[in-house]
Amino acid sequence: MSSTVQATSSRPGWLTSIGLRKLLRDRPIIPLVVLLLALVTVLEVLQPGMHGTTFGGNPVACAAGAAVLEELIATNLMQQVTDNGAFFTGRLMQLCSDFPAICKETRGKGLMLGLELAHDGAPVVAAMRERGILINCTDTTVLRFLPPLIVTRDQIRETIDVLRSVLATGV
């Protein structure tokens, strides 16, 4: 679970640059080399006026990005993501203990979580959807949970309760 878009949307519980530094601290030279190679390639191909974007880098987009970062910092949302992620992980681990023949492993970081099942997860996803909870399944057996950063503990409890009832049916 390391999609760039998902990971950089603060879902793991840290702002991108801080988390990236932690993630890559053991191999600091690798991203620099990759960045330099990409930059050299881009500079060789693109000339002024060849590439543009509607929203990238304009003053409004930059102001919006800065406002979002200020809000994330001012509201301490990343700590909430970390705390709720730990809470969610604990609940998923409890499900693994309660259903050892069905649940194999819980993994992830912050609010990017997965629950590996011992069988195909598609029926579980369908049953959850029928009960009003949207999740998906990756790699056939891994239930993926990507709640919004502002998810509440009550919403996490509801998700776990619904998942528990689905698993209890033997789906």
Please tell me the distance from the alpha carbon of residue 161 to that of residue 156, in angstroms, as a whole number. 9
| CATH code assigned at 94 | 3.90.1150.10
Please tell me the distance from the alpha carbon of residue 28 to that of residue 21, in angstroms, as a whole number. 8
pTM of the model: 0.70
Domain that holds residue 133: 78-168
* Number of domains within the chain: 1
pLDDT tens-digit series, residues 103-156: 999 999 899 999 999 999 999 999 999 999 999 999 899 999 999 989 999 999
Alpha helices in the chain (DSSP H): 4-7, 16-24, 29-45, 59-74, 77-98, 122-130, 153-168
